[in-house]
Amino acid sequence: MAQRTIGQLQRRIVIGAGFCIVAFALVGLRLVHVTLMSGPVTAGFSDHVEIARADLTDRNGELLARDLPVKDLYARPHVFWDKEQAARELAAATGADQHRLDFGFKNAKHPYVLVARQLTPESQVKVMHLGLPGLEFEPSAKRFYPGARTSAQIVGITDPDNNGLSGLELGLEKQIHANAGGQLATSIDSRVQYILAHEAEAARQTFSAKAAGGVVMDVNSGEVLAMISTPDFDPNARRLTAGDSTRNMMAQDVYELGSVFKIFSFALAFEDHTIRDLDEVFPIGQGYKIGKYTIHEAEHMPATLLARDILAQSSNIGTAQIALRSGSTRQAAFLANLGLLKPVKSELPETARPLYPRSNWGTIETATIGFGQGISVSPLSFVAAAATVVNGGRRIQPTFVKQAPGTDNRGEQVLKPETSQAMRDLLRYVVTNGTGRKADIAGYDVGGKTGSAQVPGPGGRYIPHALRTSFYAVFPVRNPRYIVFVLLDQPHGTKETGGFALASYTAVPIVAKVISRIAPLLGVPNNAPDPVVLARSNS
């Protein structure tokens, strides 16, 4: 009986010890899990990430930028059995730099080392399959751009901490944070943006140009509906590949724009009544001497030209004579009043300071600036000033934020209304009877001006046979609504153009295609007369 009691007691002791061992094992496993598999302890930590930035949308509600949930990956390298192998495997799974990880794991001064930021779900799965201990996924957010390359330079990008770095992401930073979790509508029309980008890039490829850019703007509200610059880049890739560029040539570069600048010489002449009759005859000849300098034409011109044909045929000599009638002081004041002698202001942070003769604006400078040489401005600055020329003569400031329908943001009167009317008539004449004929789209009443500018090279000399071609168009020119401007940097002639690379062969057709595609989308009616249908005779 005593032996049975002792045996029962021993069994109970063994069972109790077994339970203790199991309990201690469970506690130990839990400690290992907490110690090795958990990450940094953060007060109030949760898997929910507060959206820090508002969505950016186009004017029609189409998404341009949005925060998406992602994960940042941290590691506790002291728990790795083989730190070199861990660095190698994590680099392969996440795309992180292997040498950085290897160095960080071996020389960690803190318990945690950042492996990679903003991992996609696919990368997270790859990491999980490695089965490494001591890893922590921390909730974060990554900016996603549905438009990718199409609107890269204008929308811009954010840094890994989701702060704006460029474009509207930076320029509208305060508004984006103030509307966190909501939406902020820009002036961009994604349909117009895509069409402009498609046609400009196609032309860049066709004419083997170094770069191409364009702007579409409402002349009354100042809203920029589209702005493109190619080469471009993929804002979702977060790294540049060969041939990519983050530079917005429309806003942060300045160019001698050449003959499109002639519109300002004619507008000034109308303002000052130095041209009273567009049928006035000007001598052209083979060259125009000013002191030791001689001004030449880009193409062969007749011995004389009417004033209206000086702009229509883009005569340098004729425009120089018209500019000289106003003089340097008046020309400088006029261009300054149009805003061309200072950086243009808008929500876009990228901007550029114009280049012009600040201390020696003399006779030869007046003549050359008259036809677009010797002064360099950004294309966006030019478009804003050109809008003033045709919108009734009132100052306009570009904006990238959507305005209420029918908004008229025109400011002070800069030109007389009759000057603006005369310029609209003259720009229409350029398209019907001059270098802009390829933009004469039936029913859309287009007016415009071509530009074929020489390209400055090293030492201030122009590069032989190199051109920057552009075309500025307004439609409908009788009651202006939109400007389309396109620039090609150093295009080359093709077999189809007979080897010519002038604006009338390269830039004008692009704008014509753009207008014909966007006008119906923007509700601009086509007023082309109905075709005449001849009744068939029964005889």
Which residues have a catalytic role annotated?
A: 259
Verify cis geometry, omega within 30 degrees of 0, for the bond prior to 231.
yes
Residue given tokens 């029609």 in the structure block: 60
Mode of pairing for the β-strands spanning 183-185 and 55-57: parallel
**Identity of the residue numbered 300:** H
Distance, CA of 315 to CA of 301 (rounded, Å): 7
| Residue 466 near residue 449, CB atoms below 8 Å | no
H or E element at residue 449:
strand 447-456
Count of alpha carbons within 13 angstroms of residue 520, beta-carbon side: 5
Q: What DSSP string describes 500-521? A: --SHHHHHHHHHHHHHHHHHHH
H or E element at residue 21:
helix 2-32
Residues whose CB is less than 8 angstroms from the CB of residue 341 and which lie 6 or more positions away in sequence, other chains included: 332, 335, 354, 356
Mode of pairing for the β-strands spanning 224-230 and 55-57: unpaired
Distance, CA of 51 to CA of 479 (rounded, Å): 44
Quote the tokens at residue 271: 């303002």
The dihedrals phi and psi of 473, each to the nearest 5 degrees, come to -130, 145
User: How long a stretch of residues is the chain?
Assistant: 539
Quote the tokens at residue 303: 């011995």
| Alpha helices (H) along 313-461 | 316-326, 328-337, 363-370, 379-390, 417-433
Distance, CA of 189 to CA of 172 (rounded, Å): 17
Mode of pairing for the β-strands spanning 447-456 and 288-290: unpaired
The dihedrals phi and psi of 168, each to the nearest 5 degrees, come to -70, -20
H or E element at residue 470:
strand 462-475
Helix (H, G, I), strand (E, B) or coil at 340: coil
Count of alpha carbons within 13 angstroms of residue 306, beta-carbon side: 12
